[in-house]
Amino acid sequence: MNKKQLKIIACLCMFYDHLDRILPIQLLLAPLWDWLYEMGQEALIDQLFRLLNYIGRLAAPIFLFCIVDGFFHTHDKKRYIQRVAITALLAQVPYVLFNMAEMHTYGAAALISEIDLNILFTLSLGLIAIWLTDTLLERRQYLLAIISIITACLLATGLHMEGKYGYILILFAFYFLKDQKRWLQALLFIPIVILSRYRLFMLLFTETDARMVPTVILNIFGNYLGLLIPICFYNGQKGSISKTMQLGMYAFYPLHLLVLGMIGLLR
């Protein structure tokens, strides 16, 4: 599987996840649910619904992988980071609109002050930190490299960027493990995912409501499955990506948020 195919998969998974948050899949597939219910397959309905939720959890890990892989292959790291950062700025208004629409859909109060910065801000910060760390490691300034990683985690969390410190940790895991064997990467990513979702992971031991357990597992194991896709199937090839398609990939994020946000607010 080449990088172009990975990006397409990530975009489709992201779109599905965001669509489900504005137009819940159980409503879109209501005739199917009704048919299964009439067939006495209530348990199957529940299982299908849980499996479909995993689709959306695959998107972010694949994007995190692609952004780090792009860092290693770009000829101009500065321009690469600038493109991601500019897209982050352009996407913030659609991102806020989308989140307000989602809260509106479920009857919650839409407070702009409670909405995080979108994931591209996290990716931009992560890329800057990786670039700095890469430079420091070349100079054998290991302590400063560690400080740069910790600082990026603190900034992502303090500035309320999507994914916060967890996504920064995963970005650096891809950076440090890129040359390791696939089985070793898959093994080492288990503690990385747990650490990146530490608070959520602890709910498995402290949450008294058993109904929350499947949701916690979904958000931890689903992310791990997303990490396994590039680790296990990426062939190292870029694929034929034209300039138009490249721009389209960048534009897709803010545009689909804008469209879904408008749909959600107008419902």
Residues 6 or more apart in contact with residue 187 via CB below 8 angstroms: none
CA distance 176 to 162: 22
- The gap from C-alpha 108 to its chain's centroid, in whole angstroms, comes to 24
Write the pLDDT tens digit of every residue in 97-153: 999 999 887 777 767 778 999 999 999 999 999 999 999 999 999 999 999 999 999
Type of residue at 201 = F
Question: What pTM does this model have?
Answer: 0.90
Closest CA to 117 of 167, 174, 70: 167
Closest CA to 172 of 198, 197, 150, 194: 150
State the virtual CA torsion across 239, 245, 246, 252 in degrees, nearest 10. -120
Closest CA to 223 of 71, 53, 84: 53
Write the pLDDT tens digit of every residue in 54-99: 899 999 999 999 999 999 999 999 999 999 999 999 999 999 999 9
Closest CA to 196 of 216, 232, 223, 231: 223
CA distance 89 to 91: 5
Write the pLDDT tens digit of every residue in 200-248: 888 877 766 667 777 788 888 999 999 999 999 999 888 887 888 888 8
- What CA–CA distances, in Å, run from 195 to 165, 183, 265? 10, 19, 36
CA distance 50 to 19: 16
